[in-house]
């Protein structure tokens, strides 16, 4: 039985540790036969990402700080130099200053707003522009978002605004890259206990409340998000683009 991503090369941006959604996606991609490429932000992150990648069987590692255009351009050149065609790109990057997440949204600093939007939203545009030309036989681009993009989630603050921008970008990119047979989608995962999520004030309370209201009466399993990414990256998702796919045990359909 053939694997869903057999013969495809996938690059994942955002693998920091074993508990991240990006790592779960990378793991699922390898399980389904993809050739895996990983990026790391800087020299400090390099040893950790390389260790995780070796465990997964990653084929190559590339430096890429998405706040630096030279790094993004260098990433595209380095991937091209491998001679591989790129089929899938996963953008699993987000950042906001801790202080901007732990005070009222109205007190968000100008610099903090710029930083959150740059790393969490604009980076998708910049990386897509650089890597899309390597998808010479079409491909799939995907990013990670959250319900706080369209509804107020207490303490999500500026990150919610960044995710709203990210979701709008998905639609515009899908429209422009469609003629090149490149699909662009977002996965809106339910709350998952990751190291990044700990930056959200009182995050544990969200995890306690979801099972009381979600149709499936439980929290999201990280493996479910990874499997959705496999679907989007594989030929099974060939007709899906410009969408936000919710993997959240159904929580987003519920009202009061």
Which residues are bridge partners to 247 per DSSP?
189
Which two structure tokens, joined as six digits, stand for 132?
């899309």
- Name the phi and psi angles at 41, rounded to 5: -70, -45
Could you tell me the end-to-end alpha-carbon distance of the chain, in angstroms, rounded to an integer? 45
Catalytic residue among 23, 40, 156, 246: 156
146 in catalytic set: yes
Do the Cβ atoms of 206 and 248 come closer than 8 Å? Answer: no
Catalytic residue among 23, 40, 146, 246: 146
Q: With helix as H, strand as E and coil as C, how does 107-140 read?
A: HCCHHHHHHHHHHHHHHHHHHHHHHHHHCECEEE
How would you list the strands of the sheet with 60-63, edge to edge? Answer: 60-63, 35-40, 9-13, 88-91, 139-145, 182-189, 244-247
Sign for the CA dihedral angle at 171, 138, 74, 38 comes to positive
156 in catalytic set: yes
DSSP 178-227: GGGTEEEEEEEEPP---TGGGGSTTHHHHHHHHHHHSTTSSPPPHHHHHH
Angstrom distance (rounded) from CA 107 to CA 157: 10
* Catalytic residue set: 146, 156
């Amino acid at each position: 039985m053939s694997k869903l991503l057999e013969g495809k090369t996938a690059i994942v941006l955002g693998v920091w540790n074993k508990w991240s959604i990006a790592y779960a996606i990378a793991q699922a991609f390898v399980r389904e036969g993809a050739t895996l490429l990983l990026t790391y932000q800087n020299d400090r992150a390099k040893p950790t990402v390389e260790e995780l990648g070796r465990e997964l069987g990653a084929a190559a590692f590339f430096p890429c700080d998405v706040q630096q255009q030279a790094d993004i351009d260098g990433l595209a050149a380095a991937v091209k130099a491998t001679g591989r065609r790129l089929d899938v790109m996963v953008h699993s990057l987000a950042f906001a200053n801790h202080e901007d997440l732990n005070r009222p949204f109205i007190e968000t600093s100008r610099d903090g707003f710029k930083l959150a939007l740059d790393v969490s939203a604009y980076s998708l545009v910049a990386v897509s522009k650089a890597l899309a030309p390597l998808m010479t036989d079409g491909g799939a681009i995907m990013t990670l978002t959250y319900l706080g993009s369209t509804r107020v989630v207490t303490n999500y603050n500026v990150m919610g605004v960044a995710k709203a921008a990210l979701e709008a970008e998905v639609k515009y990119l899908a429209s422009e890259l469609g003629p090149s047979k490149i699909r662009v989608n977002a996965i809106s995962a339910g709350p998952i206990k990751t190291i990044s999520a700990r930056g959200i004030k009182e995050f544990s309370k969200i995890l306690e409340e979801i099972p009381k209201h979600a149709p499936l009466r439980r929290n999201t399993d990280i493996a479910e998000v990874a499997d959705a990414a496999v679907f989007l990256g594989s030929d099974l998702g060939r007709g899906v683009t410009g969408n936000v796919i919710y993997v959240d045990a159904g929580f987003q359909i519920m009202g009061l």
